[in-house]
A and B are shown apart, each in its own frame.
Chain A
Amino acid sequence: MKQMRILKTLNGISDDLIEEASPDNPKKKAVKPIWKPCLAAACAIAALTAGGVLGYKNFDRSEEAFIKSDEASVTVTAENAKEYGLGGGGNIATDQKEKTTVMTTEATRQQKPVYDISLSCAENEIKAAEGKKPVRFTAEVPAGASGVFLIGSEDGSRTEMLDDADNAVSGDDMQGDGVFSCMLDIDLSVPAEYTFCAECTSGGSTLRSNEVTVTVYKTFDKSEVSDIKEVNRAVSELMKSEGFKALSREEKVSRACELLNELADNGTEDAPHSLVRKDSITVSDSNYVITYRYSNGVIAVIDLSEKNDLIS
């Protein structure tokens, strides 16, 4: 079935994508609309004012205590505006100090402000190729932070990250949104892992971000795929043969090793060259598992313990 093929092929996606979508990751809470606490605040202030003018108490004791309490209010500034769904760090209403106090519910107040740096990059895994590739890194920093740098964990290299909306150069989308960006050329010529973190100065102290790793990986070329298929075909053919099925388990192990050695020495009729690394063929005595490496170094396993299936 075609759809099943898509589902099965999806199994081969990279580790980071699987982990990113894992159901046991922290759940994202629904962002409560900002107008609700605003409206509540406006009503409360109006009611208090009216209460003061007219000399009435419009609230019972607990409500009054809540409204008057410092705990019941939260200051919405550019620093934490995003948390309240304002986006872009803008304020709902500002006085001269660019601050406004808004009444909010206990639940909304408990949402933790994001004060740590959060570093991410556009591509965590890149296929190896000739030359270099510019990769965009973004870091969300607290408001007022300065000196934002991307630091290479291996070589300690420092690249300045900017919040200048100069997309072509720094990769930054919007100026003043607290998201700093930089473009870094990643060398694709050799498979490797590059780890980075971001650092900035805020309120006299230095903050560091989470680590982000960019992996440059190599994929098989057509001849490698063809060699792997040829080995798999030969192994499958052997294992499906009636003669092989009739053998005892020890004989099967011995026969499979013979075939692998033959593939290592001479290959097959269609691919008359070494298809398996001879020194890699090993047999586990305890559970009848043969491991070996294809000519390109990829490990494969023949499991003869229970079912004669091929795991690679």
Chain B
Amino acid sequence: MEDTQIIELYFQRSEDAVIETKKKYGAYCNTIVCGILKNTEDAEECLNDAYLKLWKTIPPVKPHSLKAYIGRIVRNSALSAYERIHAVKRGSDTVKVALDELAECIPDSSCDMTEELELQECLEGFLRRLPKTDRIIFLRRYWYMSPIKEIAEDHGLKETKVVSVLRRTRNRLKRYLEREGMSL
């Protein structure tokens, strides 16, 4: 079913909307959640929350891209759940490793918190300046939280190559954020 038809179902308040969304984007949402939360129960709860949020926000929201919209909601819920769970339980996982990797590209500054929108705009600008492959690899790692091995397989690259692309991109991001006067 086309996205516009699914969105129309939400506007009609038809329960088929959620069924069709799950049918079309269930696997996609699952990939995002499982990249962040390893526990299947947490992941399932997070997915249910996300579908509920989708149901409550459409309408009035009419997303331009349903895939990106649901992706954002799912990722946001999963990151919040991760924070909640991680406050209690600490361990080594993909998100923790991704966070550790990102730590090195954050400028060291004691300035006040930067406006969310400015930072977002800055990151968007940075991503658009990247070569397409580097951008996709960066987002696969830090948006979809995909493991290095999986990114390498999907792009027909060696794992070491992916690691090196990510390192280079993080260094570029650090320089870019510093140049733009961003502090976190």
Residue positions of A touching B, CB distance < 8 A = 1-24, 27-31, 123, 127, 219-220, 225, 287, 289, 291, 299, 301, 303, 305, 311
Q: Which residues of B contact A299 (CB under 8 A)?
A: 60-61
Q: Are A303 and B56 neighbours in the complex by a CB distance under 8 Å?
A: yes
A15 touching B65, Cβ below 8 Å: yes
CB-defined contacts of A22 to chain B, threshold 8 Å: 28, 67, 71, 144
Cβ–Cβ contact B144 & A10, under 8 A: no
Kindly list 5 other residue pairs between chains A and B, CB separation below 8 angstroms, not including A5-B184, A19-B67: A13-B120, A21-B136, A21-B144, A27-B155, A311-B56
Contact (A23, B31) CB under 8 Å given A7-B98, A18-B143? yes
Inter-chain contacts of A5 with B (CB < 8 A) = 119, 184
In angstroms, Cα B69 to Cα A11, docked, is 10
Contact of B64 among A2, A15, A301, A303 (CB under 8 A): A15
Nearest CB of chain B from residue A16's CB, rounded to whole Å: 8
B65 touches A19 (CB 8 A): yes
Asked if A24 and B143 sit within 8 Å, CB to CB, the answer is: no
Count B interface residues, CB 8 Å: 52
Min CB distance, B73 to chain A, in Å? 9
B: residues with CB less than 8 A from A are 27-28, 31, 53, 56-57, 60-61, 64-65, 67-69, 71-72, 75-76, 79, 83, 95, 98-100, 102-103, 106, 115-117, 119-121, 123-124, 127-128, 132, 135-136, 139-140, 142-144, 146, 150, 153-157, 184
Q: Take A21-B143, A219-B117, A225-B115 as given contacts and tell me if A13 and B123 are in contact as well, using a CB distance cutoff of 8 Å.
A: yes
Q: Give CA–CA (A299, B124) in the complex, Å.
A: 22
Q: Is the CB of A4 within 8 A of B79?
A: yes
